[in-house]
Amino acid sequence: MRDLIRVYRALLRVGWELMLEYRAQALLWILSFVFPLVMMNVWLAVVDEAGPLAGWGRSDFIAYYVAAALFNYLTAAWVLWDWDEDIRTGSLSVKLLKPIDPFHYLLTNELGWKVFILVVMGPLVALAAWLSPEIDYPLTAESLLAVAASAVTGFALNLMMSTSFAMMSFWSTQTKNFYQLVFGLGQFLSGWIAPLALFPDTIRHVATLTPFRYTLSFPLEILMGRLSGSEIALGFAVTAIWLISFTIVYRVFWRLGVKRYEAVGA
Amino acid sequence: MSLHIDKLVKHYQVHHKEAGLRGSLRSLFHRRYEMVKAVDGISFDIEQGEIVGFLGPNGAGKTTTLKCLSGLLYPTAGSATVLGFTPHKREKAYLKQFTLVMGQRNQLLWDLPAMETFLVNQAIYGVPERQFRETLDELVDLLDLKPLLTKQVRKLSLGERMKCELAASLLHRPKVLFLDEPTIGLDVTAQAAIREFILAYNQRYSATVLLTSHYMADVTALADRILVIERGRLMYDGNLQALVERTAPYKLLRLVLEQPVDETELKLFGDVESIDGLKVTLRVPRHGTKDAATRALARLPVADVTVEDPPVEEIIREVFRRGEAVEYA
Amino acid sequence: MRNAFRLLAIFYKNTLISELEYRLNFWSNLGLSLFWLVWAALSVRVYFFQTEEVAGWKYPELLVVMGLFFALNGFRQLILTPNLSRISEYVRMGTLDYVLTKPVNSQFLVSLRNIGVYNWGDPLLGLGLAAYGLWQLKYVPSLGQIALFGVLIAAAMVLLYSISLILQTLTFWLVNVERVDALVMGVLETGRFPVSFYRGWIRAVLTAVIPVAFMTTFPAEALLGRLDWRLAAAGIGLAVILFVLSSAFWRFALRYYTGASS
């Protein structure tokens, strides 16, 4: 365990430095802001036309999407692209020669960016919330803690989901495309396309069972004070079940995948 | 015994690529596969501290063998044991004891200074601080790395990068080194520096070194024992010098004359290999070299004389041409 | 001119050959394009659960705009991204020299050399969606409207190209800025919806400053037969002006490059 901590300290430092090296890439943020704001804008136009939807008025949509822009980036995991690249090009070999699991390399790369996002985008969102009368998050100390925890578990869920999908790359070259498919469908259930509250009951119930809700909607629902204590607890429970399931799937297919990698040619 | 390899076999399936646009379109719908025997039953043993050179043409199976020994490939048949471990199990204890350096693949973090990679490796291999500093200082000294450590890796030249790669792979003082084309693409000075370094490391730590190379100079400078591999089979395993003497029972007598001599006269002393103005190369039987040299010096207007072995490339080519089976010297 | 086409044929044939090696990629990318198209159409459907019209647009009309966005985005991925986004790389690595020493116009090479083979389906699918929208409306545009649409969509492509070129050319001076194409994509994203969805100063910006309105909204309106001819003329004029400007900027940057670097 002590070894792992030492390794993580070293890897996290590198992850941070790499992120600094690439800070110019931050132009990509613009992308992450534009889409939710465009969507928010459309909802506002709809509300203007048809009045509040399922009890959601202008300020609700604004509060939702501004936070969604931040949380989407916070919980996102891009490891799948790196896994796929490493496996297909054979760069995984370099990592396999090391006495630590490649998983740690890929995770620490991501974490560098997360800190950046938190440190830069977080205050921006907080500032927007404070300045704009329309954005009002009813936060208490406990709910803030719950929001933070759900953001962490949301990221962990995305991470393990991506990682277990990434294992497909040992057998297929189409992993990225397949993942986009699953991810794209998931966006309907995660609260990205529309807040889950706007969907018919059946869809909402289904969404509560899928992992997607817990990567975005769940933290947002807590943030906007729409969940009771027991609902929050239930949410974490479902998150835990999915987290464990994906981790198991990942480890099983990792072992099988490495065997195949070694059989076919590293 | 450091390495024990017994009838190692590794086969691959590759798809047959057709040329041209039509071929590509056809391959969209249907593909043909064929079996490639990269390693086809090789066996050898290596003791701790030996430096062994692995020679062979491209695609002979050298890199595949090294990858099998590093645990990156699962053998199709046969077995390999290194330091008592079975490589393909990739046990942590094994991974900490060897290193594989591939000329084509880099472990150095591209956008950061090499020092960052060193520190990461220290953490990953669990090298105690004092040992790390000692090893680092030695490596910096032997490879002349001081000015390179703080520059971003992508800004280093190929030679500088290779030196840093080597350093990064040796920080944990591995007992076994697998070096795959370590000097490829480097200039003469860098090649010499790396050769010296490998020798120094081997002597200092009694490390076993198995290296593949295209450059004869690498092998002649470092390895007494060579393994010649072609099409997945071991053609020769033994002393380089012995191979040279056996395959080419002649030497080259290079003379620099004071005045031109007619070819017919030169023929009296040996087979004429080449005449370039005043520089003459004669081929003489190995056992009669002293004799031939003495006679030449006595009878011909010689300003300078050297006796050389034929170029090793030629020897190796000859070995392949003859297609001899494994021999132990 | 004929030479240009011959060159393009050779460029693209070679790219095709090397990319077709990955045949699964070929098919699955087509499938993925189709998926994203359907996804886009469905994601917009949710807005119409409660209402027939939003900001004066009905759902099928929205599909026309979305289809054009899709087609234009496909064009971006097919031609613009594989080419223009390499400019910053050429400058940083010095490989721009290889481009400049070829006996072919540098702007031509830098703009058309490569092609994003996997996105060949997107423009077609996008137009298909637009056609579907029209079919839902039971509306058949007249020949004149189709012609006007054709001209405007071509102008839209030229607009997008020129803006991308200008932004990418800036990297001659801002050497460390990468992924400028993210900026272009961000701008284009707003074109998913008609410009009337945006209010106040945003709508003004999207019409006059960063002319996204001319890229998807106005061509769509042309197809729907309700475009003011003055806006159409403005669109064409804008495209021509920006093309001339961007080309001039490119040449200016080259003079800087060859003059400043030794």
Which residue did the predictor score with more confidence, C174 or C222? C222
Q: What is the pLDDT of residue B325?
A: 45
Distances (CA, A) of B271 to B130, B253, B274, B292, C189: 62, 10, 9, 11, 80
Q: What is the DSSP letter of C225?
A: T
Which of A12, A93, A109, A255 has the most B C-beta neighbours within 10 Å, making it the best mutation to test the interface with B?
Answer: A93
**Based on the domain organization, do B297 and B188 belong to the same domain?**
no
Indicate the residue of C46, C177, C197 with minimum beta-carbon distance to A194: C46
pLDDT exceeds cutoff 80 at A134: no
**Based on the domain organization, do B208 and B271 belong to the same domain?**
no
Q: What is the pLDDT of residue C166?
A: 93
Q: What is the pLDDT of residue B323?
A: 60
Q: What range does the domain containing B270 cover?
A: 250-308
The answer to whether the Cβ–Cβ distance between C20 and B17 falls below 8 Å is: no
Q: Is A5 in the B-facing interface, judged by CB distances under 8 Å?
A: no
Tell me the average pLDDT of chain B: 84
pLDDT exceeds cutoff 80 at C221: yes
Torsion of CA A166, A171, A174, A175, to 10 degrees: -10
ipTM: 0.81
**Based on the domain organization, do B192 and B277 belong to the same domain?**
no
Percent of chain B with pLDDT over 90: 26
The predicted-structure confidence for B124-173, as pLDDT tens digits, reads as follows 898 999 999 999 999 998 888 999 998 888 888 888 888 999 999 999 99
The number of distinct structural domains making up chain C is 1
Type of residue at A256: L
| Pairwise CA distance, residues C252 & C239, whole Å | 20
pLDDT exceeds cutoff 50 at B43: yes
Chain C hits for A172, Cβ within 8 Å: 24
Residue B310: helix, strand or coil by DSSP? coil
| Residue C54 token pair | 């939003």
Chain A hits for B73, Cβ within 8 Å: 262-263, 265-266
Which of B21, B22, B29 has the most C C-beta neighbours within 10 Å, making it the best mutation to test the interface with C?
Answer: B21
Domain for residue B324, yes or no? no
CB A189 within 8 A of CB C44: no
**Based on the domain organization, do B145 and B275 belong to the same domain?**
no
Q: Provide φ and ψ at A51, rounded to 5°.
A: 80, 180
| Pairwise CA distance, residues B295 & A120, whole Å | 86
The predicted-structure confidence for A83-95, as pLDDT tens digits, reads as follows 999 998 888 999 9
CB B137 within 8 A of CB B95: no
| Pairwise CA distance, residues C26 & A224, whole Å | 44
**Mean pLDDT across C76-93:** 87
The answer to whether the Cβ–Cβ distance between A45 and C55 falls below 8 Å is: yes
The answer to whether the Cβ–Cβ distance between A93 and B126 falls below 8 Å is: no
Which residue did the predictor score with more confidence, A163 or B242? A163
Q: What is the pLDDT of residue B65?
A: 92
Q: Is A93 in the B-facing interface, judged by CB distances under 8 Å?
A: yes
The CATH number assigned to the domain holding B290 equals: 3.30.70
CB B326 within 8 A of CB B236: yes
The answer to whether the Cβ–Cβ distance between B99 and A97 falls below 8 Å is: yes
**Based on the domain organization, do B59 and B198 belong to the same domain?**
yes
DSSP bridge pairs for C54: C57
* Lowest mean pLDDT, pick from A254-258, B1-5, C72-76: B1-5
The closest alpha carbon to C61, from C190, C216, C224, C173, belongs to C224
The answer to whether the Cβ–Cβ distance between B27 and C17 falls below 8 Å is: no
**Mean pLDDT across B258-284:** 84
**Based on the domain organization, do B78 and B221 belong to the same domain?**
yes
**Based on the domain organization, do B218 and B149 belong to the same domain?**
yes
Q: What is the pLDDT of residue B329?
A: 36
Q: Is A194 in the C-facing interface, judged by CB distances under 8 Å?
A: yes
pLDDT exceeds cutoff 60 at A189: yes
Q: What is the pLDDT of residue B327?
A: 44
The predicted-structure confidence for B86-104, as pLDDT tens digits, reads as follows 998 888 899 999 999 987 7
Q: Is B93 in the C-facing interface, judged by CB distances under 8 Å?
A: no
Q: Is C89 in the A-facing interface, judged by CB distances under 8 Å?
A: no
Strands (E), chain B: 3-15, 33-46, 51-55, 77-82, 98-102, 176-180, 208-212, 225-230, 233-239, 250-257, 271-276, 279-285, 302-308
pLDDT confidence of B328, banded at 50, 70, 90?
A: very low
Domain for residue B313, yes or no? no
**Mean pLDDT across A152-166:** 96
Q: What range does the domain containing C178 cover?
A: 2-260
Length of chain B: 329
The closest alpha carbon to B176, from B201, B212, B144, B213, belongs to B201
**Based on the domain organization, do B97 and B134 belong to the same domain?**
yes
**Based on the domain organization, do B205 and B186 belong to the same domain?**
yes
Which residue did the predictor score with more confidence, C232 or A23? C232
Type and span of the H or E element at C58 = strand C57-58
The number of distinct structural domains making up chain B is 2
pTM reported for the whole predicted model? 0.80
> How many distinct helices (H) and strands (E) make up chain B?
12, 13
Computed over its alpha carbons, how large is the radius of gyration of chain C?
Answer: 20
The answer to whether the Cβ–Cβ distance between A10 and B122 falls below 8 Å is: yes
Chains that touch B (3 or more CB pairs under 8 A): A, C
Instruction: Say how many Å lie between the first and final Cα of chain A, rounded.
Output: 30
Q: What is the pLDDT of residue C6?
A: 83
Chain C hits for B30, Cβ within 8 Å: none
| Residue A150 token pair | 């759900």
CB B294 within 8 A of CB B207: no
Q: Is C154 in the B-facing interface, judged by CB distances under 8 Å?
A: no
Distances (CA, A) of A96 to A87, B67, B169: 11, 11, 14
pLDDT exceeds cutoff 80 at A256: yes
pLDDT exceeds cutoff 70 at B326: no
Q: Is C178 in the A-facing interface, judged by CB distances under 8 Å?
A: yes
Nearest CA in chain C to B154: C93
- Looking at CA atoms only, how far is residue B231 from chain C in angstroms? 27
Domain for residue B68, yes or no? yes
Q: What is the pLDDT of residue C220?
A: 92
The predicted-structure confidence for C104-140, as pLDDT tens digits, reads as follows 788 888 898 888 888 888 999 999 999 999 999 998 8
pLDDT confidence of B24, banded at 50, 70, 90?
A: low
The answer to whether the Cβ–Cβ distance between A96 and B99 falls below 8 Å is: no
- Looking at CA atoms only, how far is residue B143 from chain A in angstroms? 22
Indicate the residue of A42, A48, A184 with minimum beta-carbon distance to C36: A184
pLDDT exceeds cutoff 50 at C78: yes
Q: What is the pLDDT of residue C119?
A: 82
Domain for residue B316, yes or no? no
Nearest CA in chain B to A2: B126
**Mean pLDDT across B259-266:** 84
Residue B211 sits at the vertex; the CA angle it makes with B103 and B243, to the nearest 5 degrees, is 135
pLDDT confidence of A265, banded at 50, 70, 90?
A: low
Which among A41-45, A156-160, B123-127, B242-246 has the top mean pLDDT? A156-160
**Based on the domain organization, do B149 and B261 belong to the same domain?**
no
Indicate the residue of A91, A99, A258 with minimum beta-carbon distance to B105: A91
Q: What is the pLDDT of residue C194?
A: 92
Residue B176: helix, strand or coil by DSSP? strand
CB A125 within 8 A of CB A70: yes
* Lowest mean pLDDT, pick from A16-25, A43-52, B164-173, B194-203: A16-25
DSSP bridge pairs for B178: B100, B210
**Based on the domain organization, do B108 and B236 belong to the same domain?**
yes
pLDDT confidence of B290, banded at 50, 70, 90?
A: confident
The predicted-structure confidence for A105-128, as pLDDT tens digits, reads as follows 889 888 887 887 888 778 888 888
| Pairwise CA distance, residues B120 & A12, whole Å | 10
Chain A hits for C24, Cβ within 8 Å: 172-174
Widest distance between CA atoms in chain B = 76
pLDDT exceeds cutoff 90 at A220: yes
Type and span of the H or E element at C168 = helix C143-169
Q: Is C76 in the A-facing interface, judged by CB distances under 8 Å?
A: no
pLDDT confidence of A158, banded at 50, 70, 90?
A: very high
